[in-house]
A and B are shown apart, each in its own frame.
Chain A
């Protein structure tokens, strides 16, 4: 899959490139709106990651251009300006998703995966881990055909770990994913550990869960 990273901050573009390359994407980088405009015109991209804070170009205009010359491209708009106007306008103009900076690269990846699943009409979305059968679309999990009852948050955590399987997900990344939208006072809460403990307890009553690993001090990793 090709990705066009439109970002005037060179360091940020570089880090996004490193990460996406590891995940198997082929990336082009444009630091100016003009450069991006030309690239969009010439190459069909699967993804355009568009920073709205470009100094030389109106980000939303670039969005319109992409929609015209590159209809199949999925567009994710990124911004640090924190206004809901940008979000609404962008989505209205046809952007597929919106991420506020600073964002986790894992979060960016999971949004891209969601778009890929949607675009390719992958209705059936099952993951099998040993005896567990997880239906990501319908949000159910069964062990040897018996349903496992998970709370919404427990399922969200499992889902996130599955999306980034075989990769260490830090407690911070998990916390951001679950409670990122709520502005609360704690910055180092261990509430996520409580949820993981409950999740593990529930799963282990059905089958063994040695694939659900803890990386001490860092986070969790599903070895699938």
Chain B
């Protein structure tokens, strides 16, 4: 605001200064001329003829000096703007009129400087003022920035090194920031302390999950190897062998359930990183390659419609693969004989959609809101799944900040949409 006021008043001030300077110059010239006249005598300029006068001006008509005999009485010095005609050209001048006596005659001394020169001077001054202003502003701004950068450096270091780059409590940078300012030191120490607490809680949870994993999976491991060895016994009757096979299947079911629950716990405890960047088209192709032989059993047709490929940034490739695999696997499992599956990627203003559509048995509308609940199974003939496929999908989607929408009609089919928001 001060600068704005400054900018408004400066031109006026400069203009006044230019005028004052000019008038001062005129007066100084007048003094000099009078001094010269006194010294060399007026006869040098005014000859002894009637109506003799003196006028001098430069080619550019920027200045003129004229001495004219006059009959007006002696007056004070007058300075004003006036038009004068010289050589048939009319020019605007700042004129100083001064009367003086020489002998018995009063003379009018006029000194004029063209307003153009005053303007010149005026604009030169303005230019200088402008440059000084710019220079002053720049220096001020530079000093301000440098100073604040220097003063705020510890603060910026804290934000940069600790908050922005903190992806995970385990990779947090605890080195104290170099500063003498108590406030910054306190901020730094507090952030370090908070992070340590978060990391402790995280490690306790991680240790718990690892312990549970070990305690549950070790007995399963013992049973599995024991059953495998029993089966290898050649003296085993066929009936006993079949019973052992059934037990192995049961054990496998238990194993898978525990593994899935542990996976969900680990994802929810943030034990997975999101450091991968993967092309959506590549992901779809990988899942299709892995699963395509399952299409042949029910003679399912697969159609891919990848309108636009995009890169999924900061994700976990293994988890996204698992997510998509489970959705497509469901589309196969709940499909009809000779059915189809369409996988497409569409783009819209705010997001990309990865869609998996099938024309299978569909989901009853009253059941749709429960499909992501754990252990929920709706298809009464479905005995071979343990109902954790869609909960895994939901957990992985939440972990990545993705939305999953389901549209379905009984006996018509289902559509699963995974929505990726654009940055």
Contacts and interface: CB of A to CB of B under 8 A. Distances in A.
Interface in B262-315: 262-263, 266, 271, 290, 293-294, 296-297
A197 B197 CA distance: 57
A11 B222 contact: yes
Query: A53, A80, A106: which has the most chain B beta carbons within 10 Å?
Result: A80
Given A11-B222, A187-B384, A194 B294 contact: yes
A92 interface: no
Given A15-B222, A105-B229, A218-B242, A185 B293 contact: no
Contact of A167 (B232, B384, B385): B232
Contact of B256 (A22, A170, A187, A216): A187
Contact of A105 (B206, B228, B253, B385): B228
Given A15-B225, A19-B225, A218-B241, A172 B248 contact: yes
A90 to B, nearest CB: 15
Contacts of A191: 293-294, 297
Contacts of B222: 9, 11-12, 15
A13 B237 CA distance: 26
A184 B218 contact: no
Interface residues of A, number: 43
A183 B218 contact: no
B293 A151 contact: yes
Interface stretch (B101-109, B386-394, B406-414): B386-394
A122 B58 CA distance: 109
Given A191-B297, A217-B245, A12 B389 contact: no
Contacts of A22: 232
Nearest to B248: A172
B220 A194 contact: no
Interface string A16-60: 101100100000000000000000000000000000010000000
Contacts of A9: 218, 221-222
Given A184-B329, A185-B388, A218-B242, A82 B228 contact: no
Interface residues of B, number: 53
A21 B290 CA distance: 36
Query: B259, B293, B297, B321: which has the most chain A beta carbons within 10 Å?
Result: B293
A1 interface: no
B297 A194 contact: yes
Contacts of B322: 182-184
A137 interface: no
Contacts of B385: 185-187
Nearest to A167: B232
Contacts of B242: 217-218
A104 interface: yes
Nearest to B228: A105
Contact of A104 (B209, B217, B228): B228
B214 interface: yes
A186 B225 contact: no
A82 B210 contact: yes
B293 A153 contact: yes
A198 to B, nearest CB: 7
Given A19-B228, A191-B297, A80 B221 contact: yes
A183 B260 contact: yes
Contacts of A130: none
Interface of A: 9, 11-12, 15-16, 18-19, 22, 53, 79-83, 101-106, 151, 153, 167-168, 170, 172-173, 176, 182-189, 191, 194-195, 198, 216-218
Given A82-B262, A185-B385, A218-B241, 8 more contacts: A19-B229, A80-B213, A173-B228, A183-B259, A183-B263, A183-B326, A187-B249, A198-B296
Interface of B: 206, 209-211, 213-214, 217-218, 220-222, 224-226, 228-229, 231-232, 238, 241-242, 245, 248-249, 252-253, 255-256, 259-260, 262-263, 266, 271, 290, 293-294, 296-297, 321-322, 325-326, 329-330, 333, 384-389, 392
